Amino acid sequence: MQRPIEAYAAVPSLTSASVEAGRPIHISFGSAAPGHGSTPLALATADFAYYTAQRVTVGDELPLLTVTETSALPLAYDTLRRAYEARGPEAMKRYNALRQRRVGVRWYPAGMNSLAFASGITAMHSEERVETHFLLGRLGIELALMAEAAHRENRTVIAGSDQLEGQAVAFALADHALIGDEVFAAGGYLGQTPEGLRRNRIADTLRLAMVAVLILVSVLSVLQPGGA
Amino acid sequence: MRFRLGSVLSTVVIVAVGFITLVGLLVGPEFGDLWIVVNNGLRLPLFASLFVQVAVIVVTLTILLGLVNLMVVHLTRLRRGEGRFLNRMNSGVLLAVFIGTLMLYMIERLTSTPSQQSVCSVLLEQVLIAVESALAALLFFSLVYGASRMLRTEVSFSRVLFIAMVVLVLVAALPLPGLGLVTQFYDWLLLVPINAGARGLLIGIGLATALTGLRILFGQDKTYH
């Protein structure tokens, strides 16, 4: 039994709305990318993209994946392809047809806290008639520009980041925020895979163990002679 | 149980490369006999350094991939004539500016002397940085808008607390006399609960990052299967 996370609970209804409206969903990796310090975060975001994109493979629009680090481009392309492939040959045929019409993975320059990336996404909101935005990966304060632009178009935003500034902005501006390490838990919540569920159970246990150790160390440091 | 050869092969390669790089970078002379085996016998530091260099080269090459992607996105839009006229014009301007800057840079490299100020650096400093600064100023308004929107959609304890903290931080930053208590309270907040909260979040993210790294090393991650 996993603890409820509002953002993950909202994903099925948001993806269904996207299919019904015939509008694409947008998933951003931010500046998370393989080959950098954010490699595990990039893979976690790819996990989120994989399970979310699978839900819209029946739709008429290709999901849009955006990155700001070029090394995340192959990962994003592969994630999108795998999501369609997982749904069988018919979905794969649809993927190949949709690819002719629109490029599903996009790079906007460049790097961490890129305002050029934020302005590119802001322009994309209206150009591509995006239904829902999943702004994840590594994002800082520039997330405010993207979320605000999405709200101007009355679009739902789910946001999360490994940066504290990004998390604060997500809490304030997103409809649903993924706080702390919640962005890493997509496999268990969206995919319901045994590995994902196991991973989330281990993460919860480790977190509890860490809290217990911190409390124990604090108590011991107070109790020992000359402690605080 | 069925295995796909490609999937097994990629998992084996990734796990092997991961472990060789990890051990090669981690084990140093302080490990004694193990260091002798790893360095002189298996020569893992050499392989680790080679793998890191290959990774750096691949990451650098992906910059070209990014540029091609940008061009393809806008060329596709222009070619298919989709979307509003303004969007197509946007793509056209982007492509024209890209090609123009590229040509300008190449001409400059061929003709200019080191003492001359490059037009490309003027473009970067006077246009790109100026535009990014203007966007950074806009961020403030986005944040204020966000704070005002928070209580319009839903009033909850956490949202009220968030707004109260924002107001407190702004008041404490005012250069007014008689705010000693507020400033002291703000300093305590910053030092104790905010610091503790931030550390808690970072520890959580650190744990999750380590867990994901271990899953990759042990071949549990499905991304490369």
What is the domain extent for residue B39?
Answer: 1-110
CB contact under 8 A, B212 and A46: no
User: Does the beta carbon of A106 lie under 8 angstroms from any beta carbon of chain B?
Assistant: yes
The residues facing A159 across adjacent strands are A135, A177
B135: in domain: no
Of the residues A36, A148, A178, the best mutation for testing chain B's interface (the one with the most B CB atoms within 10 Å of its CB) is: A148
Domain count, chain B: 2
pLDDT per residue as tens digits for the range B118-131: 777 777 777 777 77
| Position B217 pLDDT exceeds 90 | no
CB A169 within 8 A of CB B143: yes
Distance between CA B221 and CA B225 in Å, rounded? 8
Task: Give yes or no: residues B40 and B92 share one domain.
Answer: yes
Give the model's pLDDT for residue A50.
94
Domain boundary at B82, B110, B138, which?
Answer: B110
CB burial readout A201-213, b (16+ within 10 A) else e: eebeebbeeeeee
User: Does the beta carbon of B198 lie under 8 angstroms from any beta carbon of chain A?
Assistant: yes
Task: Give yes or no: residues B106 and B1 share one domain.
Answer: yes
Task: Give yes or no: residues B95 and B160 share one domain.
Answer: no
| Position B117 pLDDT exceeds 70 | no
Q: What's the mean pLDDT when you consider all of chain B?
A: 82
Task: Give yes or no: residues B104 and B165 share one domain.
Answer: no
Give the model's pLDDT for residue A228.
55
Task: Give yes or no: residues B9 and B106 share one domain.
Answer: yes
Task: Give yes or no: residues B161 and B104 share one domain.
Answer: no
CB B212 within 8 A of CB A43: yes
User: Does the beta carbon of B203 lie under 8 angstroms from any beta carbon of chain A?
Assistant: yes
Q: How many CB atoms lie within 10 A of CB B200?
A: 15
B167: in domain: yes
B50: in domain: yes
Task: Give yes or no: residues B72 and B161 share one domain.
Answer: no
Domain boundary at B110, B140, B164, which?
Answer: B110
Please, which residues 15-54 of chain A have a Cβ atom closer than 8 Å to chain B?
35-36, 39-41, 43-44, 46-47
- Chain A residue with CA closest to B89: the answer is A127
| Position A135 pLDDT exceeds 90 | yes
User: Does the beta carbon of A97 lie under 8 angstroms from any beta carbon of chain B?
Assistant: no
Of the residues B52, B57, B61, B69, the best mutation for testing chain A's interface (the one with the most A CB atoms within 10 Å of its CB) is: B69
CB contact under 8 A, A70 and B72: no
The residues facing A219 across adjacent strands are none
User: Does the beta carbon of B220 lie under 8 angstroms from any beta carbon of chain A?
Assistant: yes
Which chain A residues touch B147 with a CB distance below 8 Å?
172
Distance between CA A75 and CA A95 in Å, rounded? 17
Span B86-110, average pLDDT: 85
Span B110-115, average pLDDT: 71
B144: in domain: no
Distance between CA B201 and CA A107 in Å, rounded? 29
**Quick check: pTM over 0.95?**
no
B130: in domain: no
Span B141-147, average pLDDT: 76
Question: Based on C-alpha coordinates, what's the Rg of chain B?
Answer: 27
| Position B138 pLDDT exceeds 80 | no
User: Does the beta carbon of B134 lie under 8 angstroms from any beta carbon of chain A?
Assistant: no
Please, which residues 64-83 of chain A have a Cβ atom closer than 8 Å to chain B?
70-71, 73-75, 78-79
Task: Give yes or no: residues B81 and B160 share one domain.
Answer: no
In this structure, of A68-72, A104-108, B25-29, B217-221, the range with the lowest mean pLDDT score is B217-221
B147: in domain: no
CB burial readout A128-150, b (16+ within 10 A) else e: bebbbbbbbbbbbbbbbbbbbbb
Exposed, middle or buried by CB within 10 Å (0-12, 13-18, 19+), for A89?
A: exposed
Task: Give yes or no: residues B95 and B179 share one domain.
Answer: no
User: Does the beta carbon of A86 lie under 8 angstroms from any beta carbon of chain B?
Assistant: no
| Position A33 pLDDT exceeds 90 | no
* Cα angle B13-B16-B20, degrees, rounded to a multiple of 5: 135
Of the residues B4, B199, B207, the best mutation for testing chain A's interface (the one with the most A CB atoms within 10 Å of its CB) is: B207
B118: in domain: no
Distance between CA B113 and CA B135 in Å, rounded? 34
Which chain A residues touch B63 with a CB distance below 8 Å?
70
CB contact under 8 A, B139 and A145: yes
Give the model's pLDDT for residue B225.
56
| Position B116 pLDDT exceeds 70 | no
User: Does the beta carbon of A212 lie under 8 angstroms from any beta carbon of chain B?
Assistant: no
Model confidence band, residue A116 (pLDDT cutoffs 50, 70, 90): confident
Q: What's the mean pLDDT when you consider all of chain A?
A: 88
Give the model's pLDDT for residue B223.
62
| Position B5 pLDDT exceeds 90 | no
| Position A21 pLDDT exceeds 70 | yes
